[in-house]
Structure 1
Amino acid sequence: MGVLMHGKSAVVTGGAQGIGLAIGKALAQQGANVALVDVDPRRAAEAAEQLSTEVSSQVVGLGCDVTDEEAVRAAVGGAVAEFGRLDVWVNNAGITRDASLRKMGVADFEAVMNVHLKGSWLGVRAAADVMREAGSGSIVNMSSLSGKSGNPGQSNYSAAKAGIVGLTKSAAKELARRGVRVNAVQPGLIRTAMTEAMPPEVFAAREADIPMKRAGTTDEVAQAVLFLASDMSSYITGAVLEVGGGRYM
């Protein structure tokens, strides 16, 4: 059991599965008390219960729709009530609604923008209210290499992920003097349930484009978030850390 985050508390949105759960696990393994937040309260509770058996720190599950301002504030309040403080907030919740420009409906564009960009903005704002008063804290926003390069069929997702970079830098400038750091992580091709569903030949073609010639793991993304969440990155704010095996460098 590590001590990098001993005595700290963290919230991870979209924390019941995939990259979010890996992030929660990495933080908890280093001693943080962790709240796994998910739009499905039951799934959040189950993930928290399972993770609790693997770590010695406290893990709870909270239901939260990140597009709902009051729900996000309630998640912040719930974490503070549970742990007595809020040191780390990770905006990880996300969805996809892929389609070409011609075929994508406005509802699908708005749904993706709302969860990724509006959800991250609400999270930054609510977490910052607590961290600003404490004079310390780390917020980590999950962008994507799609926000750097753009992906065909993902004009909604790519736009939202690019927007998260702008949000990160703006918030970082506002909050730096209050001791609150805001950074972003841009994962590339990562092995998750979503990418495993891709046709094998498409996945292989994507891997071939990566200098390291392989997809990344959820744990490798989680370690980057852990770095930005911890005091190891105490003089880093407004940064965008690519975790993509060298793709698009």
Structure 2
Amino acid sequence: MAPNDFTGQVALVTGGGSGIGRATCLQLARDGARVVVTDFNVKTASETLSLMPNPEKHLALQMDVTQQSAVQSVITTARDKYGEPPSLLVNAAGILITDPSVDKTGTDVINVNLKGIFLVTQAFTEELLRGNEGAQEGKGVIVNIASIVGKIGHPDFRYYAASKGGVITYSKSCAAEMARKGIRVNCVLPGLVDTAMTKPLSEELRQSIVDKTPLRRSGKPEEIAEVIVFLLSRRSSFMVGACVEVTGGEGM
């Protein structure tokens, strides 16, 4: 039996083409949701779709989270396909740029990691609440993916840490507002996780992080995804504005 039941619900996942986003899509599909897999790279989104049970029930779409028109187009397409807007949202899209010469001002990192969450959350909530803004618990759930470095900082990830710190405070602020409208908002703070995004890290840097982690290892995307789907489920119905650390103990 599936640990969660999302039967009949539509879930939108950004960054669903790889890593934590992909693992979340697979677990949501496992638990009965109809999943809209979105990614800047539509090929990887389609690859995620192919791994899901009953792929014809789901949808893979290209989306640039930094472009409001692109975000709105995805929301509209999902509503048209399923006859209702998504009621579950996972903001997993993110980038990590470790070479300061590539993004000297941090603009790209901030745009994807923080502005992207603003735009997707706004479009999601507006569509979900359209014509139905009365107080009603259980209308929808949002889970934002931050990072433990957004809480503790890191000398090698200044812009990334700043963007993820913004995700944490945005999640709490959004949670306070949206709870009154029937939408729960929480966030997850992963530690070092084995994904395509962290693969370019030097072995020395990776080992330094592992050495500070009590479990003495990095995490797997599936371990983060299990916490995400818990926060999306009715089992976490009294959790609002929580920022859950899934780090193996890093940053305690």
Q: Report the TM-score, using the length of structure 2 for normalisation.
A: 0.90
Q: 1:16: which partner in 2? A: 17
Higher helix share: 1
**Distance 1:36-1:56 versus aligned 2 partners, 3 A rule:** closer
Once residues 163 and 121 of structure 1 are traced to their aligned partners in structure 2, the CA distance between those partners, rounded to angstroms, is 11
User: What displacement does 1:158 show?
Assistant: 0.6
Once residues 103 and 16 of structure 1 are traced to their aligned partners in structure 2, the CA distance between those partners, rounded to angstroms, is 23
State whether structure 2 residue 232 is matched by structure 1 residue 229.
yes
Q: Cα deviation per residue 1:50-76 (whole Å; 9 max; x = unaligned)? A: 123x35782210111100011111111
Q: 1:84: which partner in 2? A: 83
Q: 1:122: which partner in 2? A: 119
- Paired residues, what number? 244
Given that residues 140 and 229 in structure 1 are in contact (C-alpha distance below 8 angstroms), is that contact kept between their aligned partners in structure 2?
yes
State whether structure 2 residue 247 is matched by structure 1 residue 244.
yes
Once residues 109 and 7 of structure 2 are traced to their aligned partners in structure 1, the CA distance between those partners, rounded to angstroms, is 35
User: What displacement does 1:4 show?
Assistant: 1.4
User: What displacement does 1:198 show?
Assistant: 3.0
Greater Cα shift, 63-72 or 196-205: 196-205
Structure 2 counterpart SS, 1:98 = coil
Once residues 249 and 66 of structure 2 are traced to their aligned partners in structure 1, the CA distance between those partners, rounded to angstroms, is 32
Q: 1:148: which partner in 2? A: 151
Given that residues 88 and 229 in structure 1 are in contact (C-alpha distance below 8 angstroms), is that contact kept between their aligned partners in structure 2?
yes
Structure 2 counterpart SS, 1:116 = helix
Once residues 185 and 116 of structure 2 are traced to their aligned partners in structure 1, the CA distance between those partners, rounded to angstroms, is 15
Given that residues 33 and 57 in structure 1 are in contact (C-alpha distance below 8 angstroms), is that contact kept between their aligned partners in structure 2?
no
Structure 1 counterpart SS, 2:219 = coil
State whether structure 2 residue 37 is matched by structure 1 residue 40.
no
When the two chains are superposed, the root-mean-square deviation of aligned CA atoms in Å is 2.0
Once residues 164 and 204 of structure 2 are traced to their aligned partners in structure 1, the CA distance between those partners, rounded to angstroms, is 26
Given that residues 26 and 222 in structure 1 are in contact (C-alpha distance below 8 angstroms), is that contact kept between their aligned partners in structure 2?
yes
For structure 2, which runs of at least 5 residues remain unmatched after alignment? none
Q: 2:185: which partner in 1? A: 182
Q: 1:63: which partner in 2? A: 62
Q: 2:30: which partner in 1? A: 29
Greater Cα shift, 229-238 or 78-87: 78-87
User: What displacement does 1:93 show?
Assistant: 0.7
Structure 1 counterpart SS, 2:197 = helix
User: What displacement does 1:17 show?
Assistant: 1.0
Given that residues 18 and 195 in structure 2 are in contact (C-alpha distance below 8 angstroms), is that contact kept between their aligned partners in structure 1?
no
**Distance 1:103-1:8 versus aligned 2 partners, 3 A rule:** closer
Once residues 211 and 193 of structure 1 are traced to their aligned partners in structure 2, the CA distance between those partners, rounded to angstroms, is 23
User: What displacement does 1:104 show?
Assistant: 5.6
State whether structure 2 residue 137 is matched by structure 1 residue 137.
no
User: Percent of aligned pairs with the same residue?
Assistant: 37
Q: Cα deviation per residue 1:123-159 (whole Å; 9 max; x = unaligned)? A: 1111111233465000111100110111113221111
Structure 2 counterpart SS, 1:151 = coil
Once residues 92 and 103 of structure 1 are traced to their aligned partners in structure 2, the CA distance between those partners, rounded to angstroms, is 22
Greater Cα shift, 29-38 or 88-97: 88-97
Q: Cα deviation per residue 1:9-38 (whole Å; 9 max; x = unaligned)? A: 101101011111001011110000001101
